[in-house]
Amino acid sequence: MRLNLLIIDDDVNFLNTAKKILQYGFEVTTSKNGKNGIEAFQQYDFQIVLLDMKLPDISGLDVLRRIKEINPFTPVIIITEYPDFENAVQAMKLGADDYIQKDFNFDLLKSKIEKLLETRDLKVALKYLKTEAELIRNEFIYASEVMRKVKIEIERIANLDVDVLLTGETGVGKDLLAYEIHKLSPRRDKNFVMVNLAGIEPNLVDSELFGTVKGAFTDAVNRMGKFEYANGGTIYLPEISEIPQSTQIKLLEFLQYKKITRIGSNKDIRVDVRLIFATNSDLEKLLSAGKLRDDFFYRISVNKIHIPPLRERRDDIIPLAKYFISKYSSQYGIRREFKLNDELVKAMLSYSWPGNVRELENMIRSSIRDDVDELRLEHFPYLYERISRSSSIKPYKLAEAEFRENYFKNLYHQANGDINRASKLSGISSKYLRRILKSLGIVVK
Ligand SMILES: Nc1ncnc2c1ncn2[C@@H]1O[C@H](COP(=O)(O)OP(=O)(O)OP(=O)(O)O)[C@@H](O)[C@H]1O
Ligand SMILES: [Mg+2]
């Protein structure tokens, strides 16, 4: 992609020579005064500006200030005449990014521009680091067979560079997996931008995503949207039911042509972005409620990954619990490793976790403590209360295991540890009894 470069200088000779030299590497636009320069900058998407400080109409410093207001990330290089370093230094203090002498050579300017664009990317990345840090927080933990398959699917899709739809109840890990896909993909070094449309007024959604040009509506300024920020990287839209229908059309167009237009402009901007969508709603319901356009829905559900609720993958519960315990104990500066007692483990396994992993994480975050070696159910009043409320029906396997364990422990006590007596009482062969008792951790003499 050729970069768009704007030169603002009143020296026509210089403009002509510069244009001649620079056109080999850039799309060059020139402006003979400050006012036109600012206008051009507002209208088009320039990646770099060369600015003379002495202009006929307004001062170069004012132009610099305006440009930085319009887009703080666009690097501005001051053009200096040899004896005028002081002015250049002054401009650097006021926000210019670098300076170069009027008789520059092409390679020097090119290397300066490359460096500046790199730091610009860093600055843009930093702005989003907070969003990213929120997601980085957890490692992707799984042990169940279904999640192992999900993991394989995610690795496969990460490399395909296609758009993805993640479905699953609240708290199952859609945000985490969206980020995981980005990190496993060739786009990993570029931005991952999560755009939560729930927090944005519907009529501002398009400007947020696609950017605006001055005059698009009252108060509109030239501003980059999330698509341009995320260029080369990934945009994650965490709830498709929040996407207005008119925006769905624009997203479809983007998916087809890989181009966007800022609101109020008719200029196409080519952007290279992968889209990841998610929803915790039932897709059929969204369709029948008219929230999703059919064409949009069918387009984005080509690559769909469903993340099952935690209660359908109980093998993940204890590994997740242990991960959160160690995460929060180290975050709180608690020193030790904890044991989880049996009753607690059983309670965790039998609870239905309607809030899924988020609920488990929140519970552990709020209950972790420093004054015991072994964590017990009573240390988790939240869980205790819910378990006793809903304990009438447990998953059959769990109920069966509980019955079995109780039965054989009682039997062993009744028989005073005498295996033959226990065999008579229960009608189970003593050989088989020994095996069962041993599996329950009861040592038979
Ligand atoms: N497999 C996992 N390993 C570690 N942490 C997980 C896992 N799944 C989810 N979490 C954590 O649980 C919390 C909730 O997950 P996340 O925000 O991804 O849910 P979600 O599916 O996007 O929910 P919602 O639909 O409500 O937005 C996060 O802190 C996330 O890091
Ligand atoms: Mg989410």
CB of 176 closer than 6 A to ligand 1? yes
Q: What is the mean pLDDT of residues 35-42?
A: 92
pLDDT at 124: 66
Proportion of the chain above pLDDT 70, given as a percent: 93
- Lowest mean pLDDT segment, chosen from 103-117, 259-273, 307-321: 103-117
pLDDT at 126: 59
Hey, what amino acid is at 379?
H
| Confidence band of 130 (pLDDT split at 50, 70, 90) | very low
- What does the DSSP 8-state code read for residue 442? P
> What distance in angstroms lies between residue 358's CA and the mean position of ligand 2's atoms?
10
- Lowest mean pLDDT segment, chosen from 69-73, 377-381, 419-423: 69-73
- Measured from the alpha carbon of residue 167, the closest ligand is 1
pLDDT at 125: 60
CB of 359 closer than 6 A to ligand 1? no
Q: What is the mean pLDDT of residues 33-57?
A: 90
Q: What is the mean pLDDT of residues 359-367?
A: 89
- What does the DSSP 8-state code read for residue 440? T
Distance CA 124, CA 126 (A): 5
| Confidence band of 136 (pLDDT split at 50, 70, 90) | very low
**397-438 pLDDT, tens digit each:** 777 877 888 899 889 888 888 999 999 999 999 999 999 888
> What distance in angstroms lies between residue 9's CA and the mean position of ligand 1's atoms?
53
Structure tokens at 107: 């390679």
Q: What is the mean pLDDT of residues 340-356?
A: 93
pLDDT at 128: 53
Atom of ligand 1 nearest to the CA of 172: 21
pLDDT at 37: 94
What burial letters (b/e) apply to 227-243, b meaning 16+ CB within 10 Å?
Answer: bbbbbebbbbbbebebb
Q: What is the mean pLDDT of residues 388-397?
A: 68
- Residues with Cβ within 8 Å of 195's Cβ and at least 6 positions away in sequence, in order, are 208, 209, 226, 235, 236, 237, 238
CB of 138 closer than 6 A to ligand 1? yes
CB of 44 closer than 6 A to ligand 1? no
pLDDT at 127: 55
pTM score, two decimals? 0.64
pLDDT at 392: 63
Work out the angle at residue 198's Cα, subtended by the Cα atoms of residues 303 and 307, and round it to the nearest 5 degrees: 35
Q: What is the mean pLDDT of residues 240-247?
A: 94
- What does the DSSP 8-state code read for residue 83? G
Q: What is the mean pLDDT of residues 355-378?
A: 87
Distance CA 69, CA 197 (A): 25
CB of 364 closer than 6 A to ligand 1? no
> What distance in angstroms lies between residue 240's CA and the mean position of ligand 1's atoms?
17
List CB-based neighbours of ion ligand 2 within 5 Å: 174-175, 238
**167-200 pLDDT, tens digit each:** 999 999 999 999 999 999 999 989 999 998 887 8
Q: Which among 336-340, 428-432, 440-444 has the top mean pLDDT?
A: 428-432
Q: Please give the mean pLDDT across all residues of the chain.
A: 87
